[in-house]
Structure 1
Amino acid sequence: MTAISKHFQPDSALAQALPGFSPRPAQTEMAEAIATTLKSKGQLVVEAETGTGKTYAYLVPILLSKGSAMISTGTKALQEQLFHRDLPALRDAVAPHKQVTLLKGRSNYLCIHRLQQNSAHAAELSKTVQKQLVEVKRWSLRTEDGDVAGLAQLPEDAEVLPHVTSTVDNCLGRDCPVYEDCYLVKARKRALEADIVVVNHHLFFADMALKDVGFGELIPTADALVFDEAHQLPDIASQYFGEAIGSRQLQELAQEAKVLYLTEVKDLRQLDKAADKLLTSLRDWRLVFPADPQRGNWRQFQQQDNVIEAARMVTESLEFFRDVMKTAIGRNQDLDACYERCVEFIHTWHWLQQTERTGYSFWYETTPRHVVLHQTPLQVADKFGGFVAKSDASWIFTSATLAINEDFKHFTRLLGIQQAQTLCLPSPFAFAEQGMLCVPRFLPQPHQREMLDALLDITTQVLDANPNGGTFVLFTSHRMLQLVAERLAQVTDRPMFVQGTVNKRELLADFIAAGNAVLLGTASFWEGVDVRGQALTCVIIDKLPFGAPDDPLLQARIEDCRLRGADPFSQVQLPPAIIALKQGAGRLIRDRSDRGVLIVCDQRIVTRPYGKLFVGSLPPLKRTRDLQQALDFLRTINGEATA
Structure 2
Amino acid sequence: MDSQTNSLARAVSEAFAPGGVLSRAEPAYRPRAGQIAMAEAVAQAIEARRVLVVEAGTGVGKTYAYLVPALLSGQRVLVSTATRALQDQLFARDLPRLVHGLGLPLRMARLKGRSAYLCLERLDQVRQGRTAPQDPQVLRGVAAVERWARTTHTGDLAELPALDERSPVVPLVTSTKDNCLGSDCPHWQDCHVNRARRQALEADVVVINHHLLFADLDVRESGVAQLLPSTGVVVIDEAHQLNDTGVQFAGEALTSQQLIGYARDVLRTTQAHARGMADWLVLCATVEQAVRELRLQVAGTAAGSRLAWQGVTPQGLDAQRWRAALVRLGQSLRALLAPLAAMEAMAAELQRVHERGAVLLSRLAAFAASAEEDSVRWLEVGSQHLRMLASPLNISRIMRERLLGRSLEAGAAPEEGDAGEAGRVAWIFTSATLGSDAQLSWFTEPCGLRGAHVLRVDSPFDYANHAALYVPQPFAAPGSPAHGLQVAQLVRDAAERIGGRALVLTTTLKSLNLIGEQLRQSLGLFSNLEVLMQGQAPKLALMERFMAAGAMAPHGKDAGAGRGCILVASATFWEGVDLPGDVLQLVVIDKLPFPPPDDPLVEARARRLESVGRHAFHDYMLPEAAMALKQGAGRLIRSETDRGVLVVCDPRLQTMGYGAELMAALPPMRLLASKAEFHNALEALAATRGL
Shift of 1:434: 0.6
What residue is the counterpart of 1:67 in the other structure?
75
Shift of 1:358: 0.5
Matched, 1:57 2:65: yes
Match of 2:629 among 575, 578, 581: 581
Deviations 1:308-356 (A, max 9, x none): 1211121111111222322431333333222111111111111122224
Matched, 1:521 2:552: no
What residue is the counterpart of 2:91 in the other structure?
83
2:456 aligned counterpart, secondary structure: strand
Q: C-alpha separation between the residues in 2 aligned to 1:385 and 1:624?
A: 46
What residue is the counterpart of 1:200 in the other structure?
209
Contact 2:489 2:519 survives alignment (8 Å)? no
- Answer with 364-373 or 451-460: which moved more: 451-460
- Answer with 100-109 or 326-335: which moved more: 326-335
Q: C-alpha separation between the residues in 2 aligned to 1:453 and 1:162?
A: 41
What residue is the counterpart of 1:116 in the other structure?
124
Deviations 1:369-426 (A, max 9, x none): 1001011111321221233133110011100001214441232111111111111111
Match of 2:190 among 173, 181, 189: 181
The change in CA–CA distance for 1:501 and 1:263 in structure 2 (over 3 A counts) is farther
What residue is the counterpart of 2:252 in the other structure?
243
The change in CA–CA distance for 1:61 and 1:596 in structure 2 (over 3 A counts) is same
The change in CA–CA distance for 1:642 and 1:228 in structure 2 (over 3 A counts) is closer
Q: C-alpha separation between the residues in 1 aligned to 2:342 and 2:571?
A: 48
**CA RMSD across the alignment:** 2.0
What residue is the counterpart of 2:522 in the other structure?
491
The change in CA–CA distance for 1:112 and 1:321 in structure 2 (over 3 A counts) is same
The change in CA–CA distance for 1:499 and 1:619 in structure 2 (over 3 A counts) is same
Matched, 1:397 2:448: no
What is the one-letter code of the residue matched to 1:559?
A: R
Shift of 1:265: 4.0
Matched, 1:134 2:143: yes
What is the one-letter code of the residue matched to 1:70?
A: L
Match of 2:504 among 454, 468, 473: 473
What residue is the counterpart of 1:510 in the other structure?
545
What residue is the counterpart of 2:404 in the other structure?
388
Q: C-alpha separation between the residues in 1 aligned to 2:540 and 2:651?
A: 33
What residue is the counterpart of 2:304 in the other structure?
293
Q: C-alpha separation between the residues in 2 aligned to 1:540 and 1:427?
A: 21
Deviations 1:171-197 (A, max 9, x none): 222232221111111111111111111
1:495 aligned counterpart, secondary structure: strand
TM-score by length of 1: 0.96
Shift of 1:152: 2.6
- Answer with 148-157 or 504-513: which moved more: 148-157
Deviations 1:573-598 (A, max 9, x none): 12121111111000000001110000
What is the one-letter code of the residue matched to 1:206?
A: A
Match of 1:159 among 145, 168, 192: 168
Contact 1:123 1:130 survives alignment (8 Å)? no
1:198 aligned counterpart, secondary structure: strand
Q: C-alpha separation between the residues in 2 aligned to 1:2 and 1:178?
A: 49
Shift of 1:259: 2.8
Q: C-alpha separation between the residues in 1 aligned to 2:145 and 2:276?
A: 31
What is the one-letter code of the residue matched to 2:382?
A: T
- Answer with 579-588 or 247-256: which moved more: 247-256
- Answer with 389-398 or 330-339: which moved more: 330-339
Q: C-alpha separation between the residues in 2 aligned to 1:512 and 1:497?
A: 12
Matched, 1:48 2:48: no
Query: Tell me, which stretches of 5 or more residues in structure 1 are unaligned?
Result: none
Identity %: 36
What residue is the counterpart of 2:658 in the other structure?
610
- Answer with 569-578 or 85-94: which moved more: 569-578
Shift of 1:122: 5.4
Matched, 1:7 2:55: no
Match of 1:448 among 480, 485, 506: 480
Shift of 1:48: 0.6
Contact 1:405 1:613 survives alignment (8 Å)? no
What residue is the counterpart of 2:468 in the other structure?
436
Query: Tell me, which stretches of 5 or more residues in structure 2 are unaligned?
Result: 1-8, 407-422, 551-563
Matched, 1:343 2:397: no
Match of 2:457 among 395, 415, 425: 425
What residue is the counterpart of 2:420 in the other structure?
none
Q: C-alpha separation between the residues in 2 aligned to 1:274 and 1:330?
A: 20
2:231 aligned counterpart, secondary structure: coil
Q: C-alpha separation between the residues in 2 aligned to 1:123 and 1:203?
A: 27
The change in CA–CA distance for 1:213 and 1:107 in structure 2 (over 3 A counts) is closer
Q: C-alpha separation between the residues in 2 aligned to 1:112 and 1:428?
A: 49
Q: C-alpha separation between the residues in 2 aligned to 1:208 and 1:263?
A: 34
Q: C-alpha separation between the residues in 2 aligned to 1:597 and 1:85?
A: 31
TM-score by length of 2: 0.90
What residue is the counterpart of 1:541 in the other structure?
589
Shift of 1:105: 0.7
What residue is the counterpart of 1:369 in the other structure?
384
Q: C-alpha separation between the residues in 1 aligned to 2:366 and 2:673?
A: 53
Deviations 1:603-622 (A, max 9, x none): 11112222111111111111
What residue is the counterpart of 1:619 in the other structure?
667
What is the one-letter code of the residue matched to 1:552?
A: P
Shift of 1:35: 0.3
The change in CA–CA distance for 1:216 and 1:62 in structure 2 (over 3 A counts) is closer
1:82 aligned counterpart, secondary structure: helix
Matched, 1:35 2:43: yes
The change in CA–CA distance for 1:279 and 1:291 in structure 2 (over 3 A counts) is farther
What is the one-letter code of the residue matched to 1:37?
A: A
The change in CA–CA distance for 1:389 and 1:219 in structure 2 (over 3 A counts) is closer
What is the one-letter code of the residue matched to 2:642?
A: D
What is the one-letter code of the residue matched to 1:449?
A: P
Shift of 1:210: 3.5
Q: C-alpha separation between the residues in 2 aligned to 1:618 and 1:555?
A: 26
Q: C-alpha separation between the residues in 2 aligned to 1:291 and 1:496?
A: 26
1:565 aligned counterpart, secondary structure: coil
Match of 1:570 among 618, 622, 629: 618
What is the one-letter code of the residue matched to 1:245?
A: L
Contact 1:296 1:365 survives alignment (8 Å)? yes
